[in-house]
């Protein structure tokens, strides 16, 4: 997907610019950039850019939001990997932040990425009331009502065997879904779209988020270990509640198809054609890692 590649470069340039070494301790800069540069698919920034291109707006309009999204996603991975949380030593084929540096530095690098993401958002070159809206929505998506709340409920659910489909959905909607929906809604705010388009983009984001998670769970059952870069079957071994566990593998595939259908229906309802958002959906559902 050529566009995704060029968007990746776009956001990586911004991350460099917004996090200048001169303004902070070297070690903090190194730890923040170590994880920011570790790559990943940059899906959240890509969704912002996809909305902007869909409405024929310049990508530069989304530089701050794209960087902030990637910084908050990265901080959440750094803190999730800590010994007290998932205790992971490797992420994307490299030592995790606290293994490369140390635990205290990893905690502070995460804190700085989170805090600085708001500094960058506050620099968005847009009417002030829109900037306030972007910040308000972002903090809701990332905070106690969104990602952090979902992460805590996920931790609690791991200790239980009787997690319902409803609870599973609610956890994913906050833990991973909220930032994906934010990427689309922020794109709508930046591109100044019609209210009906904004609502459809948000709904698209919700279905995309669920599809993303179901596909993750399916990959854990039948993915290619060499491609996804982690042991297949780890969810089952950890007795984790997943879509395949609750619905069976075929049931999970059906549920995935259903979410894709609903997501596509939202795209069709937009006032413009949205081939790039369709391509993002295809990419997320058909990815093999």
Contact residues: its own copies, CB under 8 A = 19, 23-25, 27-29, 32, 75, 79, 82-85, 98, 102-105, 107-108, 110-112, 114-116, 118-119, 121-123, 127-129, 131-132, 135-136, 138-140, 142-145, 148-149, 151-153, 155-156
Q: Which is nearer to its own copies, 76 or 215 (CB)?
A: 76
Q: Which is nearer to its own copies, 157 or 274 (CB)?
A: 157
The minimum distance between CB 112 and its own copies, in angstroms, equals 4
Q: Which is nearer to its own copies, 131 or 279 (CB)?
A: 131
The minimum distance between CB 129 and its own copies, in angstroms, equals 4
The minimum distance between CB 152 and its own copies, in angstroms, equals 5
Q: Which is nearer to its own copies, 82 or 279 (CB)?
A: 82
The minimum distance between CB 125 and its own copies, in angstroms, equals 11
DSSP letters spanning the chain: -HHHHHHHHHHHHHHHHHS-GGGS-HHHHHHHHHHHTT----HHHHHHHHHHHHTT--GGGGHHHHHHHHHHHHHHHHHHHSTTTT--SEETTEE-HHHHS-HHHHHHHHHHHHHHHHHHHTT-SS-HHHHHHHHHHHHHHHSTTTHHHHHHHHHHHHT-S---HHHHHHHHIIIIIHHHHHHHHHHHHHHT--HHHHHHHHHHHHHHHHHHHHHHHHHHHHS-HHHHSS-TTHHHHTT---HHHHHHHHHHHHHHHHHHHHHHHHHHTSSS--HHHHHHHHHHHH---
The minimum distance between CB 145 and its own copies, in angstroms, equals 5
Q: Which is nearer to its own copies, 141 or 280 (CB)?
A: 141
């Amino acid at each position: 997907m050529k566009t995704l590649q060029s968007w990746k470069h776009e956001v990586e340039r911004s991350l460099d610019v917004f996090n200048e070494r001169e303004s902070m301790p070297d070690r903090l800069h190194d730890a923040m950039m170590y994880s920011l540069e570790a790559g990943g698919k940059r899906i959240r920034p890509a969704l912002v850019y996809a909305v902007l291109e869909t409405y024929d707006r310049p990508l530069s309009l989304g530089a701050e939001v794209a960087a902030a999204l990637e910084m908050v996603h990265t901080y959440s991975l750094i803190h999730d990997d800590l010994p007290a949380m998932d205790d992971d030593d490797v992420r994307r084929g490299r030592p995790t932040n606290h293994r490369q540096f140390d635990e205290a530095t990893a905690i502070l690098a995460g804190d700085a990425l989170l805090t600085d993401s708001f500094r960058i958002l506050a620099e968005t070159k847009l009417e002030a009331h829109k900037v306030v809206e972007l910040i308000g929505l972002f903090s809701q998506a990332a905070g106690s009502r969104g990602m952090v709340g979902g992460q805590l409920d996920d931790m609690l659910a791991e200790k239980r065997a009787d997690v319902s489909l409803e609870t599973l959905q609610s956890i994913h909607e906050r833990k991973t879904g909220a930032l994906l929906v934010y990427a689309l809604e922020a794109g709508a705010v930046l591109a100044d779209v019609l209210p009906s388009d904004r609502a459809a983009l948000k709904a698209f984001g919700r279905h995309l988020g669920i599809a993303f998670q179901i596909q993750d769970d399916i990959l854990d059952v039948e993915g290619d270990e060499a491609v996804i870069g982690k042991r297949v079957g780890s969810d089952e071994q950890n007795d984790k509640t997943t879509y395949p566990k609750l619905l069976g593998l075929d049931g999970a595939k059906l549920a995935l198809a259903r979410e894709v259908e609903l997501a596509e229906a939202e795209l069709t309802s937009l006032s413009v054609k949205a081939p790039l958002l369709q391509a993002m959906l295809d990419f997320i559902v058909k990815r093999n890692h």
